[in-house]
């Protein structure tokens, strides 16, 4: 009798434990509260070429000998977990973007004469009107008839150097749309449930203040030329011979694994949007939930990642010096006030040429400086929030230059070691291009606790 009683208690305990588990139930649970049924799969594998930066807090602000920003008080901030590219975006990776833009324009032109380059069905064979690009159809770039149909994509004959027919980089524009959540979140722009309409105003991408007819008013359109400014290698340095870099750096295979430069802040954002678009379309084709958007890191995310878990270090490698114990330089910068070759390079170098920090991130200091999402303000540390802090502003073309400043971090191959320090801030204008500024992407991590 005692054995039967114990067995009964054991069965009751198992039943009680299984009945308390949430998140794994399906159906209607005999009238109990269970989660809604999901029709699409969710999985967050480690993204290719990215590393996981665990959530945490740190003291932002001058943590070393940084007299230029000594007036900014240090304060503790916290950032959520995110994924970050382990290196800067390379020429070859960015070329994938420019080639995609080139091919999309080419297919639209070909579709005017060759209907096979357009499709009237989506991935589920549902009708589409108007037709969209058919990416399955191959472009024969040596086909004379195709070249004639794509004539406007090439440099006009009277502008060709030595008669060479080349793609006109001035025609490579990427159009995309994004949602302005900042304006959508303003209380004055909220939907009025009593009147069933919006009563606020929104500033569109051109800087016009227009009434909100519906929530489509929060969708902004951008059109960005995507080809890097290769002439920045000449423009940045007076009385200097850099023509080989201007004519070879972006397209020659010898520079494939070098960081892309000569891109504006807007171009970096356009790349992030395109990268999100490509992955989202792939996941939807497999009936999987899309992941979070790729974007530029905020200034605090960048510094937190650069520190590699070390709170008080001057540099990402956890030391107060730019040499290792054997006296070898540990980053690509301008050592000895102009002896560029002493660290192994003379300008930018292949990404990952030096050891990573403790998070597995390469070149967080040196090689090329990096765009961040954050707008630059000398007193920004004073008024930013301490929870995922950021201050951003997408300046319009007619805005004054002071509103176009964006934070760049990390220093570059042409900077002295002060700019390599993890707490050093600098800025550049969002519509400018430099031979020493590149970028890397981040992506939010959510619903993923296996690393915490």
Per-residue pLDDT for 11 more than 50?
A: no
pLDDT of residue 124: 74
The mean pLDDT value for 118-130 works out to 82
- Which of 16-30, 209-223, 358-372 is most confident? 358-372
φ and ψ at 221, to 5 degrees?
-110, 135
The mean pLDDT value for 369-396 works out to 92
Q: Where are the alpha helices (DSSP H) in 348-446?
A: 380-383
pLDDT of residue 8: 46
Measure the CA–CA gap between 409 and 420, rounded to whole angstroms. 8
pLDDT of residue 12: 43
| Entry field: residues in the chain | 452
Measure the CA–CA gap between 99 and 261, rounded to whole angstroms. 17
Residue 444 vs residues 53, 79, 287: alpha-carbon distances, Å: 10, 11, 21
φ and ψ at 4, to 5 degrees?
-65, -40
pLDDT of residue 74: 73
Residue, of 281 and 205, whose pLDDT is higher = 281
Calculate the average pLDDT of the chain. Answer: 89
pLDDT of residue 68: 55
Residue 156 vs residues 219, 228, 288, 353: alpha-carbon distances, Å: 35, 20, 44, 41
- Over residues 405-444, the pLDDT tens digits come to 999 999 999 999 999 999 999 999 999 999 999 999 999 9
Residue 291 vs residues 24, 428, 444: alpha-carbon distances, Å: 22, 30, 9
What are the DSSP calls for 398-410, one per residue?
A: TS-GGGGEEEEES
**Which CATH number does the domain 53-90+227-452 belong to among 3.30.1360.120, 3.90.1580.10, 2.60.120.200, 3.40.50.1000?**
3.90.1580.10
What are the DSSP calls for 94-109, one per residue?
A: HHHHHHHHHHHHHHHH
Q: What are the residue ranges spanned by the domains of the chain?
A: 53-90+227-452, 95-172, 176-225
φ and ψ at 404, to 5 degrees?
-100, 5
Per-residue pLDDT for 49 more than 80?
A: yes
pTM of the model: 0.90
The mean pLDDT value for 212-216 works out to 94
Percent of the chain residues past pLDDT 90, beyond the cut: 72
pLDDT of residue 60: 87
DSSP structural state of residue 11: H
pLDDT of residue 289: 83
The mean pLDDT value for 326-342 works out to 93
With vertex at residue 350, the alpha carbon angle to CA 346 and CA 353, rounded to the nearest 5 degrees, is: 95
Is the CA virtual torsion 308, 271, 431, 391 positive or negative? negative
The mean pLDDT value for 77-103 works out to 97
Is the CA virtual torsion 140, 146, 147, 150 positive or negative? negative
**Relative orientation angle of helices 265-285 and 91-111, to the nearest 10 degrees:** 70
Measure the CA–CA gap between 170 and 227, rounded to whole angstroms. 8
Measure the CA–CA gap between 295 and 272, rounded to whole angstroms. 5
Confidence of residue 27 (pLDDT cuts 50, 70, 90): low
Measure the CA–CA gap between 55 and 77, rounded to whole angstroms. 11
Query: CB atoms < 10 A from the CB of 232, how many?
Result: 22
- Over residues 164-175, the pLDDT tens digits come to 999 999 999 999
The two three-digit tokens of residue 34, written as one number: 């269970």
pLDDT of residue 303: 96
DSSP structural state of residue 78: E
Measure the CA–CA gap between 402 and 379, rounded to whole angstroms. 14
pLDDT of residue 33: 85
The two three-digit tokens of residue 178, written as one number: 């994004």
DSSP structural state of residue 191: E
Q: Rg of the Cα trace of the chain?
A: 26
Is the CA virtual torsion 53, 59, 60, 63 positive or negative? negative
Structural contact between residues 242 and 234, judged by C-beta atoms closer than 8 angstroms: yes
Which element (helix H / strand E) includes 313? none
Structural contact between residues 91 and 260, judged by C-beta atoms closer than 8 angstroms: yes
166 contact partners, CB below 8 Å, separation of at least 6 = 154, 155, 160
Nearest alpha-carbon partner for 232 in 376, 438, 440, 418: 438
Measure the CA–CA gap between 243 and 351, rounded to whole angstroms. 22
């Amino acid at each position: 009798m005692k054995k039967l009683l114990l067995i009964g208690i054991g069965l009751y305990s198992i039943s009680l434990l299984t009945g308390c588990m949430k998140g794994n139930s399906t159906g209607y649970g005999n009238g109990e509260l269970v989660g809604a049924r999901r029709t699409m799969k969710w999985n967050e594998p480690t993204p290719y070429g990215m590393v996981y930066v665990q959530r945490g807090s740190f003291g932002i602000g001058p943590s070393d000998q940084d007299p230029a920003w000594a007036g900014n008080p240090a304060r503790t901030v916290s950032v959520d977990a995110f994924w970050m590219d382990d290196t800067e975006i390379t020429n070859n990776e960015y070329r994938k973007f420019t080639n995609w833009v080139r091919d999309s324009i080419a297919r639209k032109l070909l579709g005017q004469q060759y209907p096979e380059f357009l499709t009237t069905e989506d991935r589920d064979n549902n009708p589409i009107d108007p037709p969209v690009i058919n990416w399955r159809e191959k472009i024969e770039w040596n086909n004379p008839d195709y070249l004639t149909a794509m004539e406007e994509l090439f440099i006009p004959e009277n502008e060709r150097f030595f008669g060479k027919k080349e793609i006109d980089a001035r025609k490579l524009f990427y159009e995309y749309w994004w949602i302005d959540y900042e304006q959508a979140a303003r209380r004055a722009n909220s939907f009025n449930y009593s009147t069933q309409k919006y009563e606020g105003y929104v500033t569109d991408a051109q800087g016009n203040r227009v009434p909100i007819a519906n929530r489509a008013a929060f969708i902004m359109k951008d059109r960005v030329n995507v080809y890097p400014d290769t002439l920045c290698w000449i423009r940045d340095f007076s009385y200097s011979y850099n023509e080989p870099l201007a004519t070879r750096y972006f397209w020659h295979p010898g520079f494939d694994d070098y960081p892309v430069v000569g891109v504006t802040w807007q171009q970096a954002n356009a790349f992030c949007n395109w990268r999100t678009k490509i992955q989202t379309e792939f996941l939807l084709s497999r009936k999987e939930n899309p992941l979070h958007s790729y974007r530029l890191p905020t200034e605090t995310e960048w510094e937190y990642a650069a520190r590699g878990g070390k709170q008080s270090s001057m540099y990402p490698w956890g030391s107060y010096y730019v040499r290792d114990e054997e006296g070898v330089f540990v980053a690509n910068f301008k050592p000895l006030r102009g002896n560029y070759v002493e660290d192994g390079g003379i300008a930018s170098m292949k990404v990952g040429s030096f050891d990573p920090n403790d998070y597995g991130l390469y070149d967080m200091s040196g090689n090329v400086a990096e765009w961040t999402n954050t707008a630059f303000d000398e007193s920004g540390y004073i008024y930013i929030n301490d929870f995922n802090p950021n201050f951003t502003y997408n300046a319009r073309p007619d805005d004054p230059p002071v509103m176009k400043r964006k934070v760049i971090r990390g220093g570059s191959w042409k900077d002295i070691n002060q700019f390599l320090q993890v707490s050093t801030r600098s800025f550049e204008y969002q519509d400018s291009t430099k031979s020493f500024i590149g970028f890397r992407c981040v992506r939010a991590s959510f619903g993923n606790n296996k690393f915490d």
